[in-house]
Structure 1
Amino acid sequence: MGMGTTMNTPPITAAAAMLDDFLMRAALAGMGVALVSALLGCFVVWRRMAYFGDATAHAALLGVALSLGFGIAIPVGVGVAALAMGLAVGGLSGRRIASDTLLGVLAHAALASGLLAVSLIPGGARLDLEAYLFGDILAVSRGDLGLIWGGVVLVVATLVWRWQSLLVSVISPDLARASGVDPRRENLVMVFALALTVAVAIKVVGALLITALLILPAAAARPLARTPEIMAALAAVIGVASALGGLRLSYHWDSPTGPTIVCTAAGFFALTSLLRPLLAPLFRRTQ
């Protein structure tokens, strides 16, 4: 019995080590994407840009088709498509079309065009679309992890660098102009940051769930915060907790990881929404 146990130990140890490494990469990827999405999501919530985030995220699938057609790296194609969508929305806004209508049209047109383009590309029919629609965080490689965290560092650095300018542009474009800040330039910064976030997040949560990861942590943090900085910090904590909690629940329930992460974030939103009536008197006393 002792010999059998000894002989079986190395394979079990190797399998456990492989599993730990596998889950560690997934956890680090989820933390990075959740962190940057939550911070950027605060600006999306403040500017009521949920549909804008949706349109940019849905363009990701068109970027996948672009990458396959031209033989370029998928994150590059996704980033280019998301950036082009953001610039198109900014250029077409206010031209006799209501913003929500324009964003709805562009979001669904981009998603349908991406699905159609992928099916028409040779080899596209064999592509696992589910991984790009809902993410496949458990398949994140070391190279993917480096790309994700490289994008995270770049976006976070951009937000820290432009924080005050972005904030005043969100509060009041007129006040921004009076302060010497160009709101159009800050909008381009937002578009760039959002496109880069979509490019690094598609591997983790997919094109259909990126917007949820942008909106939910920020919306959950809003009832608990009295200042923009506190809201951003709380959103980051909630986002990371959603990623790690969703990953753990997915492991125990054997459920799709991307949707489980989003459902965990939705649970935080429901919790803070229920607590809001209890916290409102406290906020009134401290303001």
Structure 2
Amino acid sequence: MLNDFMIRAALAGIGLAIACAPLGCFVVWRRMAYFGDATAHAALLGVALSLALAVPLFPAVIVVALAMAAAVASLTGRGHASDTILGVLSHAALAAGLVAVSLVPGVRSDLNAYLFGDILAVTRGDLVTIWLGAAAVVGLLAWRWSALLLSTLSPEMAVAAGIRPRLEQWALNIALALVVAAGIRIVGALLISAMLIIPAAAARPLSRTPEGMAVATAALGMAGVVGGLAAAWTQDSPTGPTIVCAVAVLFVLTNFAASLKPRRKGTNIRL
């Protein structure tokens, strides 16, 4: 467990857990799980763009993720429900990304790494990218925290207070694009949304305030990363899926523990 590649993997996973924590809370509060899936699936198109044009992966994925957000915003409300639009775009982006990546010479054998991640292959350069991305996400959400919370609780009150909910939604879109771009090397396009949703859902029964939920989400995410790495090492299982399984176990445990406690008003957050 003290090998260099395991240390780098743990640092990368912890950075991702920190970035996912506050963003995952808003994904859960705003019921944006499908939107997270659509953005993550679109990341495969960013991978294909990066490989085809020989440009860095991080900016290519960000550009495609933001394009997906713009497409969702423009198509929602034009004859179809938002979940229908998200379902169509999510699966279409995943299929198009798989086809595009397979058509780029020399990457067919690496497709699983983009789908499920390869955290054990993280380099020092990847660590810098991941932690800079995590710092950018946490900084952005800390800067817009109050406005985002008010827009989540009541868009009408936010407008009355001079806040533009659509602008706050774009702040979340940018943060989501950064997280997807940073996390695709760790857990892959198919599992990044799980790291956004499951730790936040696990922390919800334990939290009394939004800030407390963000902190608890980060702690549970980091615990899942370390536990998943240890389990993958001892059981020789796929690392990314094992990490997701570890945070899923934490979700079951926290919700089971919450169900054993007598319910009292104000004991947990309900956004």
Letter in 2 for 1:173: P
- Cα deviation, residue 286, structure 1: 9.1
Give 3-state SS (helix, strand or coil) of 1:212's partner: helix
Give 3-state SS (helix, strand or coil) of 1:34's partner: helix
Give the alignment of 1:151-190 within 5 angstroms: 151-190=133-172
The separation in 2 between residues aligned to 1:284 and 1:209, in whole angstroms, is: 33
Contact 2:206–2:268 (8 Å) recurs in 1: no
- Cα deviation, residue 38, structure 1: 2.1
- Unpaired runs of 5+ residues, structure 1, are 1-15
The separation in 2 between residues aligned to 1:280 and 1:115, in whole angstroms, is: 48
Contact 2:117–2:189 (8 Å) recurs in 1: yes
Aligned residues: 269
Contact 1:45–1:219 (8 Å) recurs in 2: yes
- Unpaired runs of 5+ residues, structure 2, are none
TM-score normalised according to structure 1 size: 0.90
Residue in structure 1 matching 2:130, options 139, 145, 148? 148
Q: Which residue of 1 aligns with 2:243?
A: 261
Contact 2:200–2:217 (8 Å) recurs in 1: yes
Letter in 2 for 1:193: A
Contact 2:21–2:196 (8 Å) recurs in 1: yes
Give the alignment of 1:112-123 within 5 angstroms: 112-123=95-106
The separation in 1 between residues aligned to 2:48 and 2:4, in whole angstroms, is: 31
Give 3-state SS (helix, strand or coil) of 2:211's partner: helix
Q: Which residue of 2 aligns with 1:227?
A: 209
Contact 1:38–1:215 (8 Å) recurs in 2: no
The separation in 2 between residues aligned to 1:165 and 1:104, in whole angstroms, is: 29
- Cα deviation, residue 276, structure 1: 2.2
- Cα deviation, residue 57, structure 1: 0.3
Max radius of gyration: which structure?
A: 1
The separation in 1 between residues aligned to 2:45 and 2:169, in whole angstroms, is: 23
Give the alignment of 1:98-113 within 5 angstroms: 98-113=81-96
Q: Which residue of 2 aligns with 1:132?
A: 114
Q: Kindly provide the CA deviation profile for residues 154-212 of structure 1, in whole angstroms up to 9, marking residues without a partner as x.
A: 11001111100111111111111011100011011000000010000001000000010
State the Cα RMSD in Å.
Answer: 1.6
